[in-house]
Chains A and B, each alone.
Chain A
Amino acid sequence: MAALSYLSVLRLSGEAFMGAVLTVNDLGLPTEFIYSEPLTPTKLQLSLYGTTLGRYLMVDVVGKGLLEASQARGVPVIVGHGDLLPLATRVKRPLCQLSATNQRPLGEPGQVREQSPEEFLAQLSEVHSPYHFRIFDRASFPVEQHLPAFIECAGRFDVLEPQSRVARTLELIREGGHA
């Protein structure tokens, strides 16, 4: 049964970060949701890491920590921001950034049009526009192996819709009503 995960990392005020991973089944229904508590670096860490702190916290601490804690092993991950794509070298899960297009359908579901080594268009459903995929590299995201999961899910729900639920749930947690 196909499944997809959605990873989002938010930058809060200052240098604080907070993230979440939502995993859904082939109907888009949540099977797992984990989040990281707001992480605020100390003054010493701010001084030592300097300008690299933001990227380090987002990718190596919050993003990697969430994906390693997730029980959805091997499930493709859709990241909310392209800065998270380097996570592909740190965790054993395929990562991609997904966006909708207004282009004409490429043909049958599964058709792929390469745009660059890190970007391609893929037809996921019969009549809709293709989706734009952005990946870290081909080695971390074998298209033939992982595209079927996207096709199965896209046939049943909008594969970009769960991202809004991640943001909404994180906002609820930040408001403190459900932490």
Chain B
Amino acid sequence: MPEPPDTRPVPPLTASGLDEAQLDPADLQALRDAVKLRTCGLEAGATFRRLEDFHPELQLAGLHFVECGLLPLQALALRLAPLPRQAAVRRLAWREPQAVVRHATALAQQQPVRRSRLRPDDLPPAQLKALLAAMYKKYGPEAGELEIAAVFAHVPPEAKAAIGIDPALRWAAFTLPAGTTPQAAHAGYYLVVLRAKNNETRKVLFRL
């Protein structure tokens, strides 16, 4: 069915017409693109009447409004609302992630410090000799009846009230008493587990 004729009145353009010679090709293209954008908000109708049929001054080279069905009112908007020369650029700002750091040294000092059992040949000969001498000094002839069941190195004497030993003697763990700084802890002390013939065990701190 043929399309009915369009009898709507055409509002005249009051401003002077656009002069093709005053526009460079880049501006023409920008105008063309902007027209397409503006029709989105101007309720472009599904019409294919050519705008330049109504306003000959808009018959610019390469400029066709037929693709977007621009109505005369929209052409007026173009005249009255100048097109931007540049796209409006906005920088998206977002907050950079940042680590929030907290101190918890006291909490870390409450965690048990573990010492693994030394193997028989882990002690240098000089230290082993010193250990045996210390045993004889403490127990006298009874030292000969005692067996060295386990040795744990560098257990500070400040922690002697809070020492735990694995039942299988694989490790010993200790914590420093509250208020005792690590700098105050003494080095060079060895926790020795001695076993008597009756299987009684004794835990002794020796300084070697």
* A residues adjacent to B (C-beta < 8 A): 19, 22, 24-37, 39, 41-42, 44-45, 48, 57, 61-62, 65-66, 69, 126-128, 156-158, 161, 164-165, 168-169, 172-173, 178-179
Contacts and interface: CB of A to CB of B under 8 A. Distances in A.
B105 A31 contact: yes
13 contacts: A28-B154, A29-B109, A31-B183, A33-B107, A33-B109, A36-B101, A44-B94, A61-B99, A126-B124, A156-B153, A156-B187, A161-B116, A173-B104
Most buried by A among B97, B121, B187: B97
B182 interface: yes
Nearest to B105: A33
Contacts of A27: 154, 156, 182, 185, 187
Interface string B90-111: 0000110111111111011101
A158 to B, nearest CB: 6
Nearest to B101: A69
Contact of A45 (B94, B99, B111): B94
Contacts of B156: 27, 29
Given A30-B109, A34-B103, A69-B101, A127 B121 contact: yes
A28 B99 contact: no
A34 B113 contact: no
Contact of B113 (A28, A36, A126, A172): A28
Nearest to A56: B97
B115 interface: yes
Interface SS of chain A: helix, strand, loop or mixed? Answer: mixed
3 nearest interchain CB pairs? A65-B99, A33-B108, A29-B182
Nearest to A28: B113
A13 to B, nearest CB: 17
Nearest to B104: A33
B154 to A, nearest CB: 5
B24 interface: no
A31 B176 CA distance: 12
A66 B121 contact: no
B183 A165 contact: no
B94 A61 contact: no
Contact of B108 (A22, A37, A127, A158): A22
B32 to A, nearest CB: 33
B103 A33 contact: yes
Given A27-B154, A27-B182, 20 more contacts: A27-B187, A29-B176, A29-B185, A32-B105, A33-B107, A33-B109, A34-B102, A34-B104, A35-B102, A37-B102, A39-B100, A61-B97, A61-B98, A65-B101, A156-B187, A157-B113, A161-B114, A165-B113, A168-B111, A169-B107
B97 A45 contact: yes
A28 B97 CA distance: 33
A161 B185 CA distance: 18
A39 B104 contact: no
A16 to B, nearest CB: 11
A172 B106 CA distance: 13
Contact of B101 (A31, A66, A128): A66
